[in-house]
Amino acid sequence: MASAEIVKFGVVGCGEISNLLHIPDIVGNEKSELVATCDLMIERARLTKELWHAKQYYQDFDTMLDRAEIDAVVIATGMSSHGPLATRAAKAGKHIFVQKPLATNMEDANAVVEETRKSKVKGQVRPGIPLVPVFIRAREVIREGNIGRPLWFQSGFGRDAPNWGAETFFTKAAGGPLFDLGVYSVSPVTFLVGPAKRVVGLASVSIPQRILLPDEDYTGHLAESVREGRHLPWHPWRRRVPKDQMVEVTMEAEDNTFTLLDMGGGCLGVVISNFIMPHGFERPLPLPHVEIYGEDGGLMIGGVQGSSLSVFTTKCDSRYWVSPRPDESGGWYFFGTIPQEGVNEMDHFIDCILNDEEPLPSVEWGRHVAEIMIKSLESSRTGKTLVIESTF
């Protein structure tokens, strides 16, 4: 357990997500401390430790759990390893903050939930949709009955594939874009409409060969960041790599996916996720990312994380109804831009540990989201409609 004043962290997975997002959130909070870093590529663990002035670094995860004086672990490794590492950390009595997804198979997902509850540690999973103002407001709109009973939805987006991380993104175990990107679409749908009941998936490997950066590239970027004394943006660095140093890999995971969901009560919808969009042609962020339509209206949330909310309704007793012109039916209400800051995910996790409260982005919710994605791919491979067994 943490002391009454501070939470001591270990971080496993010293790639860009840790160095760009999670570690700055830890060192920037007066109620937390970065104690240890860990990575299978030990030079990354060492450089990350130097960059952020941690006390220790490790190559072996179990050794860090055993030796480092830590209360909590951030798990930001390749997607297929999240579940096993989270379970081992919980079993060791460490609170767990898991980078999305919680797991890429049901055995691992169930084990995380069971061990988290058995060991009585706090477990939080990304993305932190329940902490984002625009999604909180949208759920209020639905629960107040402003759009009537939800009947159908669409969510999702595509982008070009990452040019790094073969083990992280492209193996069958990792799961591809559905677990990397689709989680940002499945998560808000379940938060807004509720648990899914059934899933049908369509998926394909549409672009089998990819050209990626060598694994050593990010290590070199970290070394330069240490020399500069600050974390440098990686995207300009990536453009320096000569093409003859790139590595060709085969795409094992499906890179083009459609997930059809039955939410019960007559509500159906689709989630789109892929790595096949040409670079520069991705959907612009202001366009709707989540659209939900009901008997009496609908709502649209714009952007990958969502920054604007539009609501339209035919219910004249709704505060979102706008009196239409004679040639129109229904009306529109536009919330405009909603600040995205909300509650910082890491701050929420730290406060839950110190105040003995359950995180809102819970491991049960993470398991439900993971099951939808796991069974979507299973459905595509088997041609069967599959029942979603978990809830939250």
pLDDT of the residue at 305? 47
pLDDT score, position 304: 44
pLDDT of residue 283: 60
pLDDT at 163: 86
Cβ distance 163 to 215 under 8 Å? no
**Confidence band of 336 (pLDDT split at 50, 70, 90):** low
Cis peptide before 101 (omega within 30 of 0): yes
Q: Could you tell me the strand order of the sheet in which 256-264 lies?
A: 331-337, 308-313, 297-302, 288-294, 150-158, 267-274, 256-264, 198-204, 386-387
Alpha helix positions (H), 32-166: 42-52, 61-67, 82-91, 106-119, 133-143
Least confident of 3-7, 54-58, 272-276: 3-7
pLDDT tens digits, residue range 205-241? Answer: 999 999 998 888 899 999 999 999 999 988 777 777 7
Q: Would you say 145 and 380 are in contact if contact means Cβ atoms under 8 Å apart? A: no
Interval 120-179: pLDDT, tens:
999 999 999 999 888 999 999 999 999 999 999 999 988 888 888 888 899 999 999 999
| Residue 343 binned pLDDT confidence (cut-offs 50, 70, 90) | confident
Residue 286 confidence (pLDDT): 46
CA dihedral defined by 138, 142, 146, 148, rounded to 10 degrees? 140
Query: Which tokens in the block code for residue 10?
Result: 């270990």
Is pTM beyond 0.85 here? yes
pLDDT band at 202 (very low <50, low <70, confident <90, very high): very high
- pLDDT band of residue 334 (cuts 50, 70, 90) is low
Highest mean pLDDT among 136-140, 258-262, 327-331: 258-262
Least confident of 9-23, 44-58, 172-186, 238-252: 238-252
- For residue 235, the model assigns a pLDDT of 77
Tens-place pLDDT, residues 82-124? 999 999 999 999 999 999 999 999 999 999 999 999 999 999 9
Chain segment 271-312, per-residue pLDDT in tens: 999 999 887 766 655 455 899 999 999 999 985 445 688 898
Is 190's pLDDT higher than 80? yes
Q: Which domains does the chain have, with CATH numbers?
A: 7-126+343-359 (3.40.50.720), 129-208+252-342+372-387 (3.30.360.10)
Specify the 3-state DSSP secondary structure of 215.
coil
* Dihedral over alpha carbons 359, 361, 363, 369 (to 10 degrees): 170
Alpha carbons within 13 angstroms on the beta-carbon side of residue 196 total 33
